[in-house]
Amino acid sequence: MKVVIVGPGAVGSLFAYFLSRAETDLWLLDREPARAGRLEHGGIEVEALDGHACRIKPRVSADPSEIGIADVVIICVKAGDTIHAARSIHPIVGDDTAVLTLQNGMGNVEKITAELTKGSVLGGTTAQGSTVLEPGRIRHAGVGETIIGEPGRPHGPRTDELVSLFQACGMDASATDDLEGLLWGKLVINVGINALTAITGLKNGELVERPGTQGILREAVAEALAVAVAKGITLPYDNAVDKVESVCRATAANISSMLQDMLRRRRTEIDAINDVIVSEGERLVVPTPVNRTLTGLVRTIEGSWNARVS
């Protein structure tokens, strides 16, 4: 089975680490030729949960035509790069290719589907935690379930095949028949964690250790839940606040993806996370003042990076 992971960031590199354990023809597709060359030569160092490090050496390329048609393509780029990634994979997507997005935020499945003329698009979430320590070096920062499904229909054989592949690599994986509910469930979790960590610089676990951030987390999640209820979404858990706080504790040492972006002065995924709650809240007449504030603060910080102090 030929598996191509698009985007050698935190999640993409971690999935390469897991999939290197299986009998796969494993590739990483990187949009930056120089980085692709370095990863092809030096591989990726992974610091495991127990502190021990290992190095994997998947094949890496910035040229999709070099790879050939894939059986599975896993998209792990930032939400703002979804359309570029979808357009870049045309040479590796055939009629029977499964294209799986494990990205944060909403709208990725729809954007990828709109760009492809072949293959089938699947969606999913992962609660595996990963932190980029430096280019080509990551830390596995937390264990969690990976769940995948198919848009607008019950899961089928391709989903089951991928679940079996992930399980064979030692991952906790399962399928869902309600992909929309799954994605909204992950969105609510990200709403509670990502922007707050990006603004404060705290790790996930610290959010629930401090009364100030814990209170804001609960308010942001309550707003997201109200929007989901107004949309008729059934979340994959009973208590949204308890779920988000349990994820914080399970990934206590993790540096969230949005905080990692902030530390590197890279564009965040705020538009695909908290701002989704704001825009949907406006459409459904559901107040979302906390998410509006968090969105505004993150955008202000992003906009200040190139500002000059006179």
Q: What is the pLDDT of residue 253?
A: 85
- Ranges of residues in the chain with a pLDDT under 70 are 307-310
Do residues 98 and 120 make contact, with C-beta atoms less than 8 angstroms apart?
yes
Distances (CA, A) of 75 to 37, 50, 80, 229: 20, 27, 12, 29
Catalytic residues: 186
Please identify which residue in the block is written with the tokens 């949005």.
258
pTM of the model: 0.91
Could you tell me the CATH superfamily of domain 2-177? NAD(P)-binding Rossmann-like Domain (3.40.50.720)
* C-alpha–C-alpha distance, residues 105 and 183, integer Å: 8
* C-alpha–C-alpha distance, residues 131 and 137, integer Å: 9
pLDDT tens for 123-145 read 999 988 888 998 899 999 888 89
Domain ranges of the chain: 2-177, 181-304
Q: Domain 181-304, what architecture?
A: Orthogonal Bundle (1.10)
* C-alpha–C-alpha distance, residues 221 and 189, integer Å: 8
Handedness of CA 144, 74, 20, 53 (dihedral sign): negative
Q: What is the pLDDT of residue 310?
A: 38
Domains 2-177 and 181-304 fall in the same CATH topology: no
